[in-house]
Structure 1
């Protein structure tokens, strides 16, 4: 979580205002919509889940990317979210999702997956490199493997993109989530 949050903050700082109107490989989302989703769920959502509070409407409809200094604000919010999960008690029990509940460690791993995959999405469409360790990538791959069919059922993932079995761990996670790892080299 700490590693992916640091990389998310780094990537966010590399997004220019001009790039926010650009297209993405995510259907129906421009860069601004992608960034707003990423900021909402991976920082505010992560903190609110740790505190066992629902996201207020004042956040769910907010255009974070329209605010001056949004990337720095995102980095600060990521720090608060990671700090909220630093308490070992937060990792115990279930988190109410409003439509059921989920074990806290499983929920945290799913948000880390969001941080990494959408971090890669943002990095790729803004001409940046996305870097995480194989350990962090392994967590992402595990979540994508475990929940990929569910995400596809709700159009969260596209059909898997074939990736060689000996490809780097994160490339395999990207492919299984319906992302083409070759986009990073092509600059999407």
Structure 2
């Protein structure tokens, strides 16, 4: 497997969890600090848009605001969010599967960054937030060990910046022999044993 496969797997996890989440659970709290399930789903959706624009090197609209909702979800009934997310997730995966897309520089929210770093960050982002939604609704998320190692590497690469920026909480200690994905959750400031 390569990074393109890992991105696809991570997007598939997120889409699967969103599809399995009843809309009547959208007001529930999540382990993602101060985010409800609705806000976490919207955050994943927004991530699809930003990741796709990073892959294609298209500029993103500076008027977009997370609190307004992912652009493709604005005005869409919540009952249709899962299918819209599936469509956008598939488009994002296709964009990151294009030849050479992981090479050179791209952008994330207007800041230039190596494309490979963006891809790694977003692969981790989709998997961790998929876990947030799954945990918030009382489900387990089965992450293959190889993907878990990739997510852990991605989280560790941005954890100091994430904590400084306030998007990661303090690291949660986990056992040395814990699976890689569990370690990734701890490094991202999640308690792997969190329950609603």
TM-score under structure 1 length normalisation:
0.90
Asked whether 1:31 is paired with 2:42, we answer: no
- Work out whether residues 23 and 79 of structure 2, in 8 Å CA contact, stay in contact via their aligned partners in 1: no
CA distance in 2, matches of 1:26, 1:140: 17
Q: Could you list the structure 1 runs, at least 4 aligned residues long, displaced by more than 6 angstroms after superposition.
A: none
CA distance in 2, matches of 1:5, 1:99: 23
Q: Is 1:86 aligned to 2:97, yes or no?
A: yes
Give 2:175's match in structure 1, choosing from 131, 150, 164.
164
2:18 is matched with 12
In structure 2, the residue matched to 1:62 is 69
The residue number in structure 2 matching 1:153 is 164
CA distance in structure 1 between the aligned counterparts of 2:35 and 2:59, rounded to whole angstroms = 24
Report the Cα offset of residue 49 of structure 1.
0.9
CA contact (8 A) 2:107 2:115 kept: no
TM-aligned CA deviation for residue 66 of structure 1: 4.1
Offset at residue 68 of structure 1 (A): 3.2
Q: Is the 8 A contact 1:137 1:169 kept in 2?
A: yes
Separation in structure 2 between the aligned mates of residue 58 and residue 66 of structure 1, nearest angstrom? 19
What residue ranges of structure 1 are gaps of 5+ in the alignment?
none
RMSD over aligned Cα atoms: 1.8
Q: Secondary structure of 1:24's match?
A: coil
TM norm structure 2: 0.87
In the alignment of these two chains, the number of paired residues is 184
1:51 to 53, 56, 62: 56
Relative to structure 1, the CA distance from residue 164 to residue 28 in structure 2 (aligned partners, 3 Å threshold; closer, same or farther) is same
Q: Residue in 2 aligned with 1:143?
A: 154
**Corresponding residue of 1:2:** 8
